[in-house]
A and B are shown apart, each in its own frame.
Chain A
């Protein structure tokens, strides 16, 4: 039988079966996210609950390897394939909006006033023209991970509370071999991981500046504050010698291998660290700046309604999005994945705040900022290149900041114009 005949037969049979299945159409919607065991498990739990409450809707979850998630989505969308509800990194929102891949969440079901009242302020980055484009179930923030065993070995009582203390602590934790090569770093460093977020939203602010203007269209770290921040950061290697950029290839690898005293990372690292044998670690809030200012960076993955979903599927999808952003769903997510709830009501409970692992992250949420990225990898690369020019080409922090700001401004301009 030729293939189109086969298909026709298949469709007819399928239609006959579903028509005769009695209780009316079951709408099936598709949900995409990337592969991460805990998240898949959490989503399975949520889907089960949702389907129990909405017997006429079934949700199919499809997942892909993280590294190729964007490629996968990129290939599927133009062909009209893909999910009804998609999970995307908040930093990609602009791309998706421009390409009309996702549709705004209707204001009747998702009133902006309610969202602003209920969710952490950083979620407001998802608003476009008075409507919300997507909502998160969970958010992440940064904190200072530290190796308890190394701290005990070096006789350090507790994690540092300020940037100055950080340097002192790091010096005590740094070890070198006979030839002066680092065998253990006081703190990890590298713009390829979370440090570029730490730089933008924390260090720059702590030194008295701001990374972007209110409209998020202009780079504003090209000033004394930005230079001071970059200088402080690169001085960790150049002056204090408590770290080496690129030590053990990736900062989190160094920490996992027990060769780094401290490491700044996001809450998503908790799962991996929990399963690392022999690693005793603790968490503390990010150190405060020279004048006591605390800041943090928060990021999140959001659930959005795709433009592929129409009619019944769209309705079902909206219900699903509403469900996965309830307090209950967020608690499930916290318990299963270890990611922080996106609403203060679910997140800032005393229990959560006291939790030794989550506490510092939760507290950080209270004063966290988020960057409205236009091209996250491109903007990350800008800062990466800046540090590389300082180390490999001996450029001064002033020149490096100026060059980085110009490069990043170009990226922003290309997008906003």
Chain B
């Protein structure tokens, strides 16, 4: 595993394609390659195209395979958006996802930093213990969590939804790998300058891993945005439903209204899409680095 691997070239070169200098009639191959890749890309998003297409159809048309509906309608969107509850769900999801993301980013990077840069007995054990929490399926944890929430009075509250996610093993692992790239010299220099450990972490180490933090933020946000089982279990009041929970109210006994589910899914994808488009450069850079440290 590489300790400190540096990326050749500036970050902008990561976004541009690298051109292979050996060409043997490669122009034709380039075109073929491009066509295949582009075609593959289109195939990749075909289901998503259908998702949007279904959301624009009347119920009796949803099983038609045409991408363009015969009678396109915004009725589904109107139905979902006019349902005042949709905005509540959206807001709840946004609030919870943002809060947990901030918390997880801070705590995961702190723990990852400690596990990486500090030497103490039991370090490996702590790391393995934290990593092993990735191996228990959430389904088994919700009952004890529910009882815990009930005992502490966290049921039916924002905190109740958030508490299992305020820090994550995945994030800790990721940040630990990243902090490996921060040279110890920087930290030593800061110590000599009289900074205490907390300041060193916050002001010296963290700025050096911003791409990782951005990537982590994206993944945590995405995970919380789509979280379903736990928010469902812990809330009774519809005012607290998150988006995925709220959207399931469109499935009634013995019958699911797929056009509404697709509409909801399409609407739910929009924020993640926006976040992606904005942070694409950071993500790519961040995810890129995650792979290197793997």
Direct touch of chains A and B (CB < 8 A): yes
Write the residues of chain A forming the contact surface with B, with a CB cutoff of 8 angstroms.
3, 7, 34-37, 62-68, 71-72, 74-76, 78-81, 193, 248, 252-253, 256-258, 266, 268-269, 272, 276-279
CA distance A344 to B249 in the complex (A): 33
B74 lies within 8 A of chain A by Cβ: no
- Find B150's partner among A68, A79, A279 (CB 8 Å cutoff): A79
Tell me whether A67 and B254 are in contact in the complex, defined as CB-CB below 8 angstroms, given that A79-B150, A80-B150 are known contacts: no
Interface check B114, CB cutoff 8 A: no
Give bound CA distance, A266 to B254, whole Å: 10
Provide the bound-state CA to CA distance between A221 and B238, in Å: 45
Interchain Cβ contacts under 8 Å between A and B, 7 examples: A65-B249, A66-B253, A193-B254, A256-B59, A269-B254, A272-B252, A276-B60
Kindly report which residue of chain B lies nearest to residue A192, judged by CB atoms: B254
* Contacts beyond the supplied A71-B232, A75-B142, A268-B254: 14 A-B pairs with Cβ under 8 Å: A62-B237, A65-B245, A67-B248, A67-B251, A71-B229, A75-B143, A78-B143, A79-B146, A81-B155, A193-B254, A252-B254, A266-B254, A269-B255, A277-B59
Residues of B within 8 A of A65 (CB): 232, 245, 248-249, 251
Contact A257 B232 (CB under 8 A): no
Q: Is the CB of B60 within 8 A of A258?
A: yes
Known contacts: A67-B248, A72-B232, A80-B150. The answer to whether A36 contacts B253 by CB under 8 A is yes
Which one of A66, A71, A277, A278 contacts B252 once the chains associate, using CB atoms below 8 Å? A66
Complex: A75 Cα to B160 Cα, angstroms? 14
**Residues of A with C-beta under 8 A to B153:** 3, 7
Q: Whole-angstrom distance from the CB of B167 to the nearest CB of chain A? A: 20
A248→B65 CA distance, assembly (Å): 13
Q: How far is the CA of A119 from the CA of B149 in the complex (A)?
A: 42
Beta-carbon contact of B147 and A79 below 8 Å: yes
Query: When the two chains form the complex, which single residue of A68, A75, A277 contacts B248, counting CB atoms closer than 8 Å?
Result: A68
Residues of A within 8 Å of B237, CB to CB, are 62
Contact with A along B106-144 (1 / 0, CB 8 A): 000000000000000000000000000000000000110
B58: Cβ under 8 A from any A Cβ: yes
Residue in A closest to B250 when the chains form the complex, CB atoms: A65
CB-CB under 8 A from A3, the residues of chain B are: 153
Closest 10 CB pairs of A and B: A79-B150, A65-B248, A75-B146, A75-B233, A66-B253, A79-B147, A35-B249, A36-B252, A65-B249, A257-B63
The answer to the question of B236 belonging to the interface, with a C-beta cut-off of 8 Å to chain A, is yes
Q: Which chain A residue has the least Cβ–Cβ distance from B253?
A: A66
- State how many angstroms separate the Cβ of A260 from the closest Cβ of chain B: 12
Task: Give the chain B neighbours of A256 by CB distance below 8 A.
Answer: 59-60
- Which of B63, B149, B237: most chain A CB closer than 10 A? B63
A residues less than 8 Å from B254 (CB atoms): 193, 252, 266, 268-269
- Of all chain A residues, the one with the shortest Cβ separation from B153 is A7
Q: Are A277 and B255 in contact (CB under 8 A)?
A: no
CA distance in complex: A63, B59 (Å) = 25
Alpha-carbon distance between A181 and B143 when the two chains are bound, in angstroms: 47
Contact of A257 among B60, B150, B233 (CB under 8 A): B60
Within the assembled complex, what's the spacing in Å between the Cα atoms of A71 and B233? 8
Contact of B60 among A68, A268, A277 (CB under 8 A): A277
Q: How far is the CA of A67 from the CA of B249 in the complex (A)?
A: 9
Complex CA gap A94/B30 in Å reads 67
Closest chain A residue to B146 by CB distance?
A75
**Bound CA–CA A253/B254 (angstroms):** 10
Q: In whole Å, how far is B161's beta carbon from the nearest beta carbon of chain A?
A: 14
CA distance A7 to B236 in the complex (A): 19
Find out whether the CB atom of B255 lies under 8 angstroms from the CB atom of A278. Answer: no
A35–B63 CA distance with the chains assembled, in angstroms: 25
